[in-house]
Structure 1
Amino acid sequence: MMAKADARDVVLAPGHTPNDRLFAYRRCVHAWSQKELAVRLAASIRKAGETVGSIDELVRTIGRWENGHSRPGANSQKHLVLVFGVSAAELGLLTPDELRRLPADFVPPPQEGVVTGQLAVNQMESKVQSGNENSAATTRRDEQILSIQSALNSVGLGTGPMLSLDPEDVTTAQVNSRAHLRWYWSWNPQELLDRVLEQLMLGVRMLKPAQVESSGFRGLAASVAHDALTAARLLFFDLGQHARAERCFAIAGAAVDHAMDHTLAVAVYTHQAFVPGFTGDRVRTDWLLERAEACLPRAQPSPLLEAWFRCVAAELYGLTGRTERSIRSVKQAHDALAKQGDDPAWLDWFGHDRYDAFAGNAYLQAGQHELATTHLQRALDALGANAAKQRSVLLFDRALSEVPTDAERAASSAREGCDALIAAPYATALTTRVPGLTAALKGTPFAGELDARLRALPAVTS
């Protein structure tokens, strides 16, 4: 404990709840070790003219906070807020009584002297924008997402009388959410995103004053989580707006906690793992995958859900340089498909054909090109009419698997991939597949043609 700086840590009784928020901000947002956080806390304490104990003792104290053995005292909370630049509520430092006393519309101001999470998001947003989106739409969507986050943070914390939900309103929200999931494969991403965000705002406004114990609360929370997940998928995979997608994934995670739906939680956390996975952030990728996997035993038994989780893990392990682990995960996915269980109706993005797509990618990253080509061709042959977005990804992967033995054939696959991308613009194909394919064909007679075709593509991302 911090000597003389704060002797008011509260020791919690057995049966404590770990402070997952503090752990998440330390490890997953900043990728700090406990020692790195201790050094920063010590610096903040000294700057305030206060006395601090040893770094090793402070590391042990941080461990007790995160494990729920004790809760930081007032002075410790002050320095944690200063170091992280977010509110005490966001760090999970407040008691239930303190949370209940927060005004329903409370939004903490930015901390002075630190780069807040929102500022960092804005800086990232300026680098990744949709090519056909104007500034007015950008501003409107940012305001919508921030408003949704603010409203969701106050769910269950109102001081006035709480309301019962109208069952018909809950049913309508669920029907709309299911429609959005279906339309993901066919609607224009920009138009669908606007519709989903409007529905998401309505859902959160209904949820905010609702009694947590009221009939339909969890059902409505699940509907909100579905819409937030759909918005995040559109932003991340289709439009390449990763920072906004992160905020919608966070909304989905908060909503799924209210819903207490472990099956849906697997979908949310697994999708969210794509964000750090695509940037090579192994630590945060693994944390999200572990969080999803922890929900699997409590989810409804679903062969497709488990297989999809293993497939995503395989792709992300491959992207972060762990090909052997990737292949093991693909084999686990194959075994999961043979299990018995009932699959959730909303799991429309995965099936045996998509397994072949993931398997082909895993074997491609492992350098097993012939096996990769076999799986990728099988996936292409099985693609349905509503899978146009996946066609370009599969064709580019097939081209990569063909380059080592037949550059001309690879160039032909690349041409098909470009045509598919024109028919169904998809940022993921452009940003995750094309750079590797361009490098692979460099020095061949087909490099110039591919470059010309890529320049002629419609703007998917900036």
Structure 2
Amino acid sequence: MTRSTGNVRLKAARVAAGFNSQQDLADALTEHAGRMGIRGLSVGVRQVRRWESDNPPWPQPDCQRVLVHLLGQSLETLGFTPPWGADGPKSDPVRPAQVAGGAGLSLSLASVRSTSAPQPATAGSDFRSVTKSHRRLYWSVTPTKLHPAVMAHATLGCALIPETAEPTRSVIAAALAETYLLAGRIEFFDLREPSLAHETFLLALQAAGEADDSLLGSAIIAHMAFIPGWTGDRDAARERMIAARTYARRTSASAEFLAWLDAVEAECETRCGDTRTALNLIGHAEDVLREGNEHASPEWMDWFSPARLAAFKGNTQLLAGHLPQARESLLDALETMAPGEEKQRTVVYGDLAAVEASSGNTEEACSYVGEALDQLALTWYATGMDRVRDVRRALTPHQHERCVRDLDDRLYDWSTTVSALSR
């Protein structure tokens, strides 16, 4: 019976560098990360053991940097196979990010070689057409059903890139970046998996780099700012927004795109407790939209509009305690929303309910929650359901009133309860 030898390349490099045990290497990597200025990275012996196994996972981005710097060899030389390679070992063909733990930005797809026949020039437009379809389906298909299809499409894109030449390669890379961006949006906003979304956004950013698409890169980084922003990590969110704005300056960004960057930063500042800065950013976004410019927004930017900006504004005003202004902004958002914005409509209903609850208008608050539940029954959106739950908690002092009890009958009927708990 043949005995497995594991990743002998990494083991040989470890021993050659003077680290006789896996624990020695783990300790050295943790210490070296600190000297490199990488905060909070701790490598355990279990991780090193996985790297020296038969199917070593692609290391996390920070781990990549430390491994390469400490051992003086590339990841491929150390026995790791990039997730982009069609022939590399993958225990899960649907999710490269889970297998690989995220792709590093230094990885060059140009170094990947394929033994398959070259793809025709039509492969780019064919792959991109499916990406466009998934983008439209996001607004109507249940997230848990759409996500596997999107990730499977991303796997196909990873396999196609090594088999194509320019300009088809760039077309596929850009569509792949959009695909990973969509998957990350589902993971963050719909499935509430921020750590998973972070890894997916990294893959999206790498693909955008292969396509040399700075605007798409800016959009991806701005989405990544939501992750620390929603947990109150202002410094990390601001750092990512600086990077997003830097990428946007490298290309011709539309007024709508620049206003969206303001709105993203405003939401992060709101979540971090600085509503004054957030309102200033929203005011600037409104000015940018009014001034306009000659640049058109990219086709893939289907998540923002003046109505969405009004919704951002209303939420910030609500949290700042400016209730009459919040009510006005949110009602304006509802009136100006176009067909296809149903997911955001549930959030606006939830915020309007919160305004009325804070104003002591219990019946009006329950009415808006009912509107949100009606919409959630048609188009599920975890962010919208979060707003509903927040309002119900705010109504606890009034839970014996008839309208609140009727609301509970709606909120905890069979279909809503099973739907919420299953997600």
Interval containing the TM-score (normalised by the shorter chain): 0.7 to 0.9
Corresponding residue number in structure 2 for 1:430: 385
Q: Does 1:314 align with 2:266?
A: yes
* Farther-moved stretch of structure 1 (97-106 vs 216-225): 97-106
Give the whole-Å Cα distance in 2 for the aligned partners of 1:205 and 1:363: 47
What secondary structure sits across from 2:264 in the alignment? Answer: helix
- Tell me by how many angstroms 1:281 deviates: 2.9
Q: Does 1:238 align with 2:238?
A: no
Kept in 2: contact 1:104–1:159 (CA 8 A): no
Question: Residue 100 and residue 210 in structure 1: after superposition, are their counterparts in 2 closer, same or farther (change >3 A)?
Answer: farther
Corresponding residue number in structure 2 for 1:336: 288
- Tell me by how many angstroms 1:358 deviates: 1.1
Corresponding residue number in structure 2 for 1:300: 252
Corresponding residue number in structure 1 for 2:408: 451
* Farther-moved stretch of structure 1 (446-455 vs 217-226): 446-455
Corresponding residue number in structure 2 for 1:98: 74
Q: Which of 289, 313, 318 is the equivalent residue of 1:359?
A: 313
Amino acid at match of 1:357: A
Give the whole-Å Cα distance in 1 for the aligned partners of 2:396 and 2:197: 33
Q: Does 1:291 align with 2:243?
A: yes
Corresponding residue number in structure 2 for 1:181: 135
Kept in 1: contact 2:190–2:381 (CA 8 A): yes
Q: Which of 294, 301, 313 is the equivalent residue of 1:347?
A: 301
Structure 1 residues 408-460: Cα deviation after superposition (integer angstroms, max 9, x where no partner): 212211121122212211111123x2343123222123444433332222423
Give the whole-Å Cα distance in 1 for the aligned partners of 2:28 and 2:126: 52
- Tell me by how many angstroms 1:163 deviates: 7.7
Kept in 2: contact 1:174–1:220 (CA 8 A): yes
Give the whole-Å Cα distance in 2 for the aligned partners of 1:166 and 1:253: 25
Give the whole-Å Cα distance in 2 for the aligned partners of 1:242 and 1:223: 22
Corresponding residue number in structure 1 for 2:420: 460
The 5 Å alignment of 1:25-36 reads none
Question: Residue 330 and residue 46 in structure 1: after superposition, are their counterparts in 2 closer, same or farther (change >3 A)?
Answer: closer
The 5 Å alignment of 1:391-410 reads 391-405=345-359, 406-410=361-365
Structure 1, unaligned runs of 5 or more:
1-40, 53-57, 67-78, 108-138
Corresponding residue number in structure 2 for 1:273: 225
Give the whole-Å Cα distance in 1 for the aligned partners of 2:115 and 2:375: 54
Structure 1 residues 297-338: Cα deviation after superposition (integer angstroms, max 9, x where no partner): 113221111111111211121111111111011011111212
- Tell me by how many angstroms 1:156 deviates: 2.8
Of all paired residues, the percent bearing the same amino acid is: 27
Structure scoring higher RCO (CA < 8 A, sep ≥ 6) equals 1
Give the whole-Å Cα distance in 2 for the aligned partners of 1:158 and 1:104: 13
The 5 Å alignment of 1:38-187 reads 44=27, 62=36, 86=59, 90-91=64-65, 94=68, 98=74, 101=77, 105=81, 143=95, 145-147=97-99, 155-158=109-112, 166-187=120-141
Corresponding residue number in structure 2 for 1:124: none
Structure 1 residues 134-189: Cα deviation after superposition (integer angstroms, max 9, x where no partner): xxxxx968755435777895733336789865321011111211121111112232
Kept in 2: contact 1:102–1:157 (CA 8 A): no
What secondary structure sits across from 2:303 in the alignment? Answer: coil
Kept in 1: contact 2:103–2:203 (CA 8 A): no
Give the whole-Å Cα distance in 2 for the aligned partners of 1:253 and 1:218: 14
Kept in 2: contact 1:155–1:209 (CA 8 A): no
Corresponding residue number in structure 2 for 1:130: none
Give the whole-Å Cα distance in 1 for the aligned partners of 2:394 and 2:239: 32
Question: Residue 361 and residue 248 in structure 1: after superposition, are their counterparts in 2 closer, same or farther (change >3 A)?
Answer: same
Give the whole-Å Cα distance in 2 for the aligned partners of 1:47 and 1:285: 25
Give the whole-Å Cα distance in 2 for the aligned partners of 1:423 and 1:47: 49
Amino acid at match of 1:228: Y
Q: Which of 368, 371, 375 is the equivalent residue of 2:329?
A: 375
Give the whole-Å Cα distance in 2 for the aligned partners of 1:346 and 1:106: 27
Amino acid at match of 1:308: W
What secondary structure sits across from 1:321 in the alignment? Answer: coil
Corresponding residue number in structure 2 for 1:73: none
Corresponding residue number in structure 2 for 1:417: 372
What secondary structure sits across from 2:167 in the alignment? Answer: coil
Structure 1 residues 185-205: Cα deviation after superposition (integer angstroms, max 9, x where no partner): 122323322221121100011
What secondary structure sits across from 1:98 in the alignment? Answer: coil
Corresponding residue number in structure 2 for 1:389: 343
Give the whole-Å Cα distance in 2 for the aligned partners of 1:417 and 1:171: 38
* Farther-moved stretch of structure 1 (323-332 vs 263-272): 263-272
Kept in 1: contact 2:307–2:336 (CA 8 A): yes
- Tell me by how many angstroms 1:222 deviates: 1.0
Kept in 1: contact 2:260–2:285 (CA 8 A): yes
- Tell me by how many angstroms 1:400 deviates: 1.0
Give the whole-Å Cα distance in 1 for the aligned partners of 2:187 and 2:75: 32
Give the whole-Å Cα distance in 2 for the aligned partners of 1:198 and 1:93: 30
What secondary structure sits across from 2:235 in the alignment? Answer: helix
Corresponding residue number in structure 1 for 2:20: none
Give the whole-Å Cα distance in 2 for the aligned partners of 1:410 and 1:189: 28
Corresponding residue number in structure 1 for 2:202: 250
Kept in 1: contact 2:266–2:279 (CA 8 A): yes
Question: Residue 106 and residue 269 in structure 1: after superposition, are their counterparts in 2 closer, same or farther (change >3 A)?
Answer: closer
Give the whole-Å Cα distance in 2 for the aligned partners of 1:365 and 1:80: 37
Amino acid at match of 1:455: Y
Give the whole-Å Cα distance in 2 for the aligned partners of 1:167 and 1:292: 32
Corresponding residue number in structure 1 for 2:87: none
What secondary structure sits across from 2:420 in the alignment? Answer: coil
- Tell me by how many angstroms 1:343 deviates: 1.2
Give the whole-Å Cα distance in 2 for the aligned partners of 1:190 and 1:45: 41
